[in-house]
Structure 1
Amino acid sequence: MRLGERVRTIEREERLDPAADRLQELADTVPDGPVRDLVNGVHLGHPVHPLAVHLPLGAWLSATLLDLLPGDHRAGAHALINVGLLSSLPAAFSGLVDLSSEHRRHKRVGVVHAAANGCGMLLFGASSLARTRGRDGWGLALALAGLGAVGEGGSLGGHLAYYRAVGANHADHLLDRIPAQWSDLGALDGFADGELGQAWVNGTPIVVVRSGATVRALIGTCPHRGAPLAEGTLAHGCLRCPWHGSEFRVDDGSVVHGPATAALESLEAAVVGGRVRVRLRGVPPRRGDGGRAGGEGDG
């Protein structure tokens, strides 16, 4: 059995649920708003956690390599161990917040992922203590064990990120289904004023927001976990996801609040002859196309 298939057995392990619930309670102490958005990575446009883990992992690997090189590098290796310990705290915190809005099976893997990395942190902490006491041999042995633990934890993180697409944009592929030419969504009167409407283009859901004769159109799938945004709510110029509460500006699809970090793709919309039409943004107008950009009505 391949490693990826073995990890899937963790996803079905219900005995991990109590630990997952405890981690969820801890993550829930982070209030919605600017702090959670910062930890999620809303301002970066992608999750913080994959970026944050580079510093502790790089510091610990560099420290171990220094230990194995000829010469006396004890002071440098010890300093790098401590840098890794300090930087591992925000990395772990960002991962905890990210995982709190995922499905149960992801959280079960996250428990083992956190346990492996936590064990690695303890081993590197013990390595630092041993070095402080002049026991450099023990310091190296504990660091090697710590690398093994965080390596295992990293493989589980890779399963979540690449096998289960945690943190990925779940709507990006839909943009490739939208034709460059104008597509008809239906009569303007078929979309209620001031409410969310839904249409389809090549099997891709489109959310339509009408304000009088002006129309805004966006890809109708939440980038965070693929929720149907037409089932969400509309308030203060923002579209709110029905599953995890991510908010996007109707005007341009930008993220207002997470856990989503990728923007919602906005389409060019126009009303021609009482019909709503959409196409990809950035397509140059062609003679006889008949559409007018910007979502303005035709009077």
Structure 2
Amino acid sequence: MLRQLVNRLEQASALDPAGDKLKAAVQATIRPRKLRDVLHGVFLGHPLHPVLVQLPVGAFMSAAVLDLLPGQRRAATALVATGVAGALPAAAAGLTDWASLAREQRRVGLVHAVGNTIALGLYAGSLAARMTGRHRFGRMLGYAGLSVAGGSAYLGGHLSYKEGAGVNHAVPELRMIPEGWHHVASMAELPVGKPVVRTVGSAPVLLYRHGDSVTAMIERCAHQGGPLSEGEVTGSGPSACVVCPWHGSTFRLTDGLVVRGPAASDQPVLRTRVAGGQVEISLP
């Protein structure tokens, strides 16, 4: 029953007007590219949001335990304050990721964000009550906030594990490539500086020739599976990059390094070798 209700959220087009307005607001507010890359977690190699949520979740749960024990009012209040403060950067990272998701994912993510906002409001009220001596009321608000946050966390899990938000969409393509070396092209078929797509097993592979060397990477973007072969190539030589046409994730063609988000993971690169003018690739 619960899963059916959540699955219906993916098709709830009535959420789109509010979601579109929030997406525009997020993109207008978080404009600097470097800031967006930090919030996406490009420097980490995976999304930053799951890392940041550990602080408020841990603080709120610890406060809930201390609220059951005598003589722990000050400690519980300090933990609630820590959780409220820690929730703000976690929300910023989450909203930045959310704004670059597919529409069906954004619908579930919107409800997830609303739930988190309600939970944060309850905890802010709990903190205010505790600081003005109304500890019993503060505890009640805290437990209410924890309950709402738990439901919202379920939606976050649905987003990640059922809908694939935040996961590396290129890695499953590696499973489609058989073991061993596979012939993909001759050097004569690969123009210098222009990506070429070949299928190995059932996985599309992007080949890029730079001088006498060839790099091969999974063609589906790590962020949302977009077709990198349809993206623009920027720069030249060792610094040449391909830009995903869907959301603008940028990867260096010589080694798959993610240069710009929203992708946080590097693009998987395959092993290559050239013998007798023939190019072969194999799994890393």
* TM range, smaller chain: over 0.9
Please state if 1:276 is matched with 2:279.
Answer: yes
Q: Secondary structure at the match of 1:28?
A: helix
Does structure 1 retain, via aligned residues, the 8 Å contact 2:177–2:202? Answer: no
**1:186 Cα shift?**
2.2
Conservation of the 8 A alpha-carbon contact between 2:62 and 2:76: yes
CA distance, structure 1, for counterparts of residue 211 and residue 130 of structure 2: 71
Give the CA deviation at 1:270.
2.4
Task: Give the conservation status (yes or no) of the 8 Å contact 1:196–1:233.
Answer: no
Give, in whole Å, the separation in 2 of the partners of 1:124 and 1:219.
44
> Aligned partner of 1:242: which letter?
P
> In structure 1, what is the equivalent of residue 217 of structure 2?
218
Alignment of 1:1-299 (within 5 A): 1=1, 3-29=2-28, 30-69=30-69, 71-236=70-235, 237-281=240-284
Identical-residue share of aligned pairs (%): 41
Partner of 1:292: none
Q: Which amino acid aligns with 2:205?
A: I
Q: Give the residue type in structure 2 aligned to 1:62.
A: S
- Provide the C-alpha distance between the structure 1 equivalents of 2:31 and 2:131, rounded to a whole number of angstroms: 38
Tell me, in whole angstroms, the C-alpha distance in 2 between the residues paired with 1:260 and 1:156: 21
Could you say what secondary structure the match of 2:106 adopts?
A: helix
1:32–1:184: structure 2 CA closer, same or farther, 3 Å change rule? farther
Looking at structure 2, the residues matched to 264 and 143 of structure 1 have their Cα atoms a distance apart, in angstroms, of 42
Partner Cα distance (1:17, 1:172) in 2: 30
More displaced 10-residue stretch of structure 1: 77-86 or 28-37: 28-37
TM-score, normalised on structure 2? 0.94
Deviates more, 1:48-57 or 1:17-26: 17-26
Distance 2:32 2:102 in 1: 19
1:278 Cα offset (Å): 1.1
Letter in 2 for 1:252: D
1:120-175 alpha-carbon deviations (Å, 9 max, x no partner): 11111111111122111111111111111111111111110111010001111222
Mean CA deviation greater in 271-280 or 228-237: 271-280
Shift in Å, 1:110: 1.4
Alignment partner of 2:126: what SS?
A: helix
Partners of 2:263 and 2:196 lie apart in 1 by: 21
Partner secondary structure for residue 216 of structure 2 = strand
2:208–2:254 CA contact under 8 A, matched in 1: no
Shift of 1:32: 4.9
How far has the Cα of 1:66 moved from its partner? 0.5
Q: Separation in 2 of the partners of 1:211 and 1:117?
A: 48
Secondary structure of residue in 1 paired with 2:118:
helix
Unaligned runs of 5+ in 2: none
Specify the SS of the correspondent of 1:68: coil
**Aligned-residue CA RMSD (Å):** 1.4
Q: Which amino acid counterpart does residue 255 of structure 1 have in structure 2? A: V
What's the secondary structure of 2:67's corresponding residue? helix
Q: What's the counterpart of residue 287 of structure 1?
A: none
Q: In 2, are the aligned partners of 1:23 and 1:96 still within 8 Å (CA)?
A: no
Secondary structure of 2:175 counterpart: helix
Which segments of 5 or more consecutive residues in structure 1 lack a partner in the other structure? 282-299
**Secondary structure in 2 aligned to 1:193?**
coil
Contact 1:46 1:262 in 2 (8 A): yes
User: Which stretch of the first structure deviates more once superposed, 255-264 or 203-212?
Assistant: 203-212
Distance 1:32 1:134 in 2: 42
Q: Please say which structure displays the higher CA radius of gyration.
A: 1
Distance 1:49 1:38 in 2: 10
For structure 1, which segment, 189-198 or 112-121, has the greater mean C-alpha deviation from structure 2 after superposition? 189-198
Equivalents in 1 of 2:117, 2:129: separation in Å? 18
